[in-house]
Structure 1
Amino acid sequence: MKTAIVTDTNSGISARQAEEMGIYLIPMPFFVDGETYLEGQDCTAEDFFQKMKRGAEISTSQPSPSEITALWERLLASHDAVLHFPMTSGLSGSCQTAKALAREYGGRVLVVDDHRISVTLMQSIQNARILLRQGKTAEEVQAAFPSHQVGIISLPLSICCHTGEGALGVACAREY
């Protein structure tokens, strides 16, 4: 069974990484002073944070249903199924939208919603803010979690709309 994997830029996966992994990526839209931008396409992080510092009005949205279904239709022409990983419903309405749209595809589209991801992400964001305030480095985080592999990444812009500049995602994973 040939399955296409779809996610959005909230995953932190860049277009280049998605291409390398064979994943299809939907850019998350956000608004700056009423103008629409697509993450990873038409606004660099530097431009985004400059606008934020100037006090721009910033908000987020979700991909349009037509954008999502157009991608699914294209993929289902060459795949048996689509496995779609939107931002979890605990953080965004995009998951509920995708689930509603998937009902029209007779089981060929499965939308994955894991509430543990949203809890983990929110804890990561909160912990990242604490770590930033404390000035911790990756080495200090690793020392605090010696039995875990620790990675620190910059958060996607659509999340930075809510956290501000300098927020980092801190993820800990244990091998089983």
Structure 2
Amino acid sequence: MAIQVTATALPEVKIIEPKVFGDARGFFLESFNAREFADKVQANVEFVQDNHSRSGKGVLRGLHYQIQHPQGKLVRVVEGAVFDVAVDIRRSSPNFGKWEGIVLSAENHKQLWIPPGFAHGFVVLSEAAQFLYKTTDYWYPEFERSIAWNDPTVGIEWPIDFEPLLASKDAAGKRLADADVFE
């Protein structure tokens, strides 16, 4: 796979950059290799579900998590660009309430590893974006929670100058102080 892994300000959240082989025909990259992921990300996980979404410019999805059956997520973009965010929602963590954000795009091929215990969301920066992610547990709608994307105590600096388009469940997201979180 030949990946480069970079730690973020949240040590458990990792930026993964696969080696891209390109020529006049296009490019090739290995998007996931369990052995190298375990070795370099130091996360021995089993992915059980792959998800794919497509959204238009200005759509903001998140900040999602499951309070039971928490999911680790390996995320990437195959069309367009998004600003992707992880928020530490483990009360016992020294980084509780802190966030990390990165632009993921079809051009930069970067991926983000978001382990269980973090809320996740993204906003679409391009005209459209296709977002793919692997999860370490299945989706259980009864355990899904959402933190408000604009919670001032979290203070995410979204790189947008417009009001994002939200699903009703995201518009009803709770502030971190009122949300179910991990101990």
Greater percentage in strand: 2
TM-score, normalised with respect to structure 2 = 0.28
Larger Rg: 1
Greater percentage in helix: 1
TM-score, normalised with respect to structure 1 = 0.29
Q: Which has the higher contact order (CA 8 A, sep 6+)?
A: 2
